Amino acid sequence: MKYFFILYAIIAISVVGIFKYRGHSFSEPPIQLLPDMDDQDVLKAQKQSAFFADGQGARQPVTQTTPLGFQVDGANKLGGIPEYEFSGGTGYYFTGHVGDYFGTGMPEELELTPENSLELLKRGEERYNIYCSACHGVSGDGAGITGLYGVPGIANLTAPPFSAGSYPDGRLFETITKGKGLMSGYGYNIPVRDRWAIIAYVRAIQVARSAPYDAVKDAFEAGKQQQEAATSSK
Q: What is the pTM of this model?
A: 0.62
* pLDDT tens, position by position, 123-165: 999 999 999 999 999 999 999 999 988 888 899 999 999 999 9
The CATH fold of domain 82-210: Cytochrome Bc1 Complex; Chain D, domain 2 (1.10.760)
What band does 19 get if pLDDT is binned at 50, 70 and 90? Answer: low
- What's the Rg (C-alpha) of the chain? 28
Cβ atoms of 48 and 55 within 8 Å: the answer is yes
What is residue 200's predicted lDDT score, i.e. its pLDDT? 96
What is residue 4's predicted lDDT score, i.e. its pLDDT? 77
Region of poorest pLDDT, from 49-53, 62-66, 135-139, 188-192: 62-66
* pLDDT tens, position by position, 172-218: 999 999 999 889 999 988 989 999 999 999 999 998 887 777 766 77
Q: What is the mean pLDDT of the chain?
A: 83
The string of DSSP codes covering the chain is -HHHHHHHHHHHHHHHHHH--TTPPPSSPPP-S--TTSS-S---TT-B-TTSTT-B---PPPTT---TT--TTS--EETTEEGGGTS---SHHHHSEETTEE--S--GGG---TTTHHHHHHHHHHHHHHHTHHHH-TTSSS--GGGGGT------TTSGGGSTTTS-HHHHHHHHHHEETTEEP-TTTS-HHHHHHHHHHHHHHHHHHHS-HHHHHHHHHHHHHHHHHHHHT-
Residue 7: count other Cβ atoms within 10 Å of its Cβ. Answer: 10
